[in-house]
Structure formats: C-alpha cells, structure tokens
Amino acid sequence: MAENPAAIAEKEAKLLSIISSDILEIGPEFAVTDDLFEAGLDSMSIMRLLIQVETAFGSRIPVAQVNRENFSTVSKIVALIPVA
C-alpha cells in the first residue's frame, strides 16, 4: 500500500531536522533530495543516523538495504522506513 504524500513529507521533515540538529552540518536550504554523502555523511555518522531513525520511527532498516544509493538522500531513506 502506498503511503500518502502528506505522511511522507512529514517523515522527511522529521528526518531532515534530526540530521541537521545532530548528524551533519547542513543549512536550512538543504533539500530532501540533496546528496547526504556530499554533505559529509560517512560510515561513522551513519551509525548515529541509524540509531536515531530507529528511535524516531520505531523501526530498524534491515542491513540488506544499507547501501550508498539507498542512503544518498533524505527521501530515499524515508522510503526505506516500514509503514507503521
């Protein structure tokens, strides 16, 4: 079942705010489609990102889905979060 656009946008905004307050130094102009690795995401910061995603959304992204492509933008990460 596809999630409704408003719910997706809400999740994206929540994840973006987590990333900007705790994970990466990104400005207010940073978009949900901008590249997180170019903004400094690396194998150390992704550990905290994964933990924060679990805390905020109540579900863990399986290891099989962890790759550079899937984690390159906020939108793509949100698409991995199972719908509650």
Partner 1 sequence: MISVRSLATDSKNQQKADVIVAGGGTAGIAAAVCAARDGAQTLLIERRGALGGMACNALVHTLCGLYLLRDDDTHPLAYSNEGFPREFAERLIAAGGASSPVRMGKLDVLPHDPTALAAVADNLTRRTPNLTVFLHTDLTRVETAAGQIQAVQLRSQGCAMEVSVKSLIDASGDAEAVALAGADFEVAPTDRLQRPAYIFGIGGALENALAGDARLKLAHLISSAVTSGHLSSEALGVAFRHGMGKSEIWATLDLQADPYDPCLPECLSRVESCGRRVSLEIIRFLRLHAPGFENAEITRTPLQAGIRESRRVSGVASLTGEDILHGRLGENPVALACWPLELRENARGARLRFPTENRPAGISLDCLRSRTYKNLFVAGRCISCTHEAQASIRVTGTCLATGEAAGKAAAAFSK
CA distance 60 to 73: 17
- Kindly state whether residue 80 participates in binding partner 1, applying the rule CB under 8 A: no
Report CA-CA distances (Å) from 49 to 3, 21, 37, 39, 76: 22, 11, 12, 14, 14
How many residues lie near partner 1 (CB under 8 A)? 18
Indicate the residue among 31 and 51 with the shorter CB distance to partner 1: 51
Candidate ranges 5-13, 28-36, 53-61, 74-82; the one touching partner 1 (CB under 8 A): 53-61
Q: Rule CB under 8 A: which residues touch partner 1?
A: 25, 42-48, 50-51, 54, 60-61, 63, 66-68, 71
